Amino acid sequence: MNEQRKVWVGLGAALIAGSALTGHAADTDPFNSHTSHGTLQMAAAMGEGEGGEGEGGEGEGGGAVDLTTNDAAYLGQLGLVRGHLWVGVQLYKAGHTDMALTHMKHPGDELYAGLKPALAARDEDGFADALTALADAVEQELAIDVVERRHMELEKGIADAENLHTADLGTILASIERMVRTAADEYAIGVKGGNIVNMHEYQDSYGFVEAAKARLAVLSDLQREESPEAVAEVKNQLNTVSGLWSGLAPEGKLDGDASKLYGAAARIQLAGWELE
């Protein structure tokens, strides 16, 4: 995982520098005209010590991100919860009950525990009971409509905790970048040489990107007006990586690797930098 993160951290500089050298920057990066030498230095300065937050809230240099104060990391972590749950529900509806249950349990066992202090710091009630209720419905193999109803109730609780309508565009795009970067980490574990070697991690990456798409889709008009160009670039990057997944539990080889996700994460980060 650390090696994959080292690959990712240099992509921001490589993508910009590569575009400039080939002379096709305007075709590939709508923000290239605003890219300065200082931005190149910033991307390069990230160095090999920069790391991803992962699913447990890991931050720069492998240290822990403080979810109580870092709004982008907090929203990113909530996005990972959404991704797990989305995959779990889709798997359950497709008849993959055992696989669905692993995705339902993971948010409660690991991700939610790390969110508790952050929820308390923001005076949010949380959604522990709804999370347990959904996992129980899957474990007890209740009817699909019951599972879907409990999922909707849980989604409302997560939305209350997110308060996305109060966030600025830069924070939301930073949270999406974190979600995509974590998806890249998971895809790198799950897919090797086009073969799925870890189905759970492959599915994680799928869910995280779907959750990222959903977050971008619910931006308000006011948030979009902060930078329509940045929103369009992020949407383009999310669409670009859609072909990396051929289903929830596919068989056979895949045409893709994690480098595409790391590249998308880097470009999303660059789009967010334009808002600073």
pLDDT tens per residue, range 261-270 = 999 999 999 9
- Give the helix/strand (H/E) hosting 196: strand 195-196
Q: Is the pLDDT of residue 61 over 80?
A: no
- pLDDT for the residue 165: 95
- pLDDT for the residue 57: 53
Pair of tokens at residue 233: 């670039």
- For residue 98, is it within any domain? yes
Q: Is the pLDDT of residue 129 over 50?
A: yes
Where is average pLDDT lowest: 56-70, 73-87, 150-164? 56-70
- For residue 61, is it within any domain? no
At 17-55, the pLDDT tens digits run 333 333 333 333 322 323 333 333 333 333 333 333 356
37 vs 174 pLDDT, higher one: 174
- For residue 239, is it within any domain? yes
At 79-104, the pLDDT tens digits run 999 999 999 999 999 999 999 999 99
List Cα–Cα distances, 129 to 101, 138, 169, 215, in angstroms.
Answer: 17, 15, 30, 23
In a 13 Å sphere around the CA of 189, the CA atoms on its Cβ side amount to: 18
Query: In the chain, how many domains are there?
Result: 2
Boundaries of domain holding 144 = 71-162
Same domain for 153 and 175, yes or no, is no
Same domain for 184 and 231, yes or no, is yes
- pLDDT for the residue 120: 96
- Give the helix/strand (H/E) hosting 264: helix 258-273
Same domain for 170 and 257, yes or no, is yes
- For residue 60, is it within any domain? no
Q: Who's near 143: CB < 8 A, 6+ residues apart?
A: none
> Cα–Cα distance between 171 and 169 in angstroms, integer?
5
- For residue 62, is it within any domain? no
Indicate the residue among 118, 135, 162 that finishes a domain: 162
Dihedral angle of Cα 251, 252, 256, 259, to the nearest 10 degrees = 80
